[in-house]
Amino acid sequence: MKILLFLSDSMIPLLIFSIVGYGLLCRAHVYDDFIKGAKDGFQTVIGILPTLVGLMVGVGVLRASGFLDLLASLLGAFTEPLHFPAELVPVSIVKMFSSSAATGLVLDIFKKYGPDSYFGTITSLMMSCTETIFYTMSIYFMTAKVQKTRYTLAGALVATLVGTVASVVLAQLM
């Protein structure tokens, strides 16, 4: 167990040192390349910031209006027999659009039920087993100028469903 803790603590520093070491061996200007990459990353953040703000505001409006609670109660009739709590339906839906917005809902669940509760465990597992499908597709496809998405959406929805089911099953085993 101690070896896993050591590897966990040292993985990021080792990765950074290996990248810098490789750059120095190749006689690259490591710091200049880092600064250039940081500038490019900052430009990317500026480009997607309006989308993030729009998603956060939209979810805030849906939460404040009570729409997410209404949706949870309506869909809860279908999800409860499947052992998926109705209280977690909004998180699973919002997560497909924005992980940041879903985090606010997760914090609400943690405050109400506790992070170590059954709902908290499912939520934690679900947040790590699912992807922000629509946000990721829009950013990646827009950036790469992909025209034909083929089965990407269907595959992503199936993967999210499988991740959600796995979250429920794993939480029940704990």
Single pTM value for the model: 0.68
Euclidean distance between CA atoms 18 and 10, whole angstroms: 12
71 band by pLDDT with thresholds 50, 70 and 90: confident
Q: What is the mean pLDDT of residues 62-82?
A: 84
Nearest residue to 169 (alpha-carbon basis) of 75, 106, 83, 102: 83
Torsional class of 114: left (φ above 0), alpha (ψ -120 to 50), beta (otherwise): left
- How far apart CA 43 and CA 11 sit, in angstroms, is 28
What is the structure's pLDDT at 67?
Answer: 87
Mean pLDDT of 74-86: 85
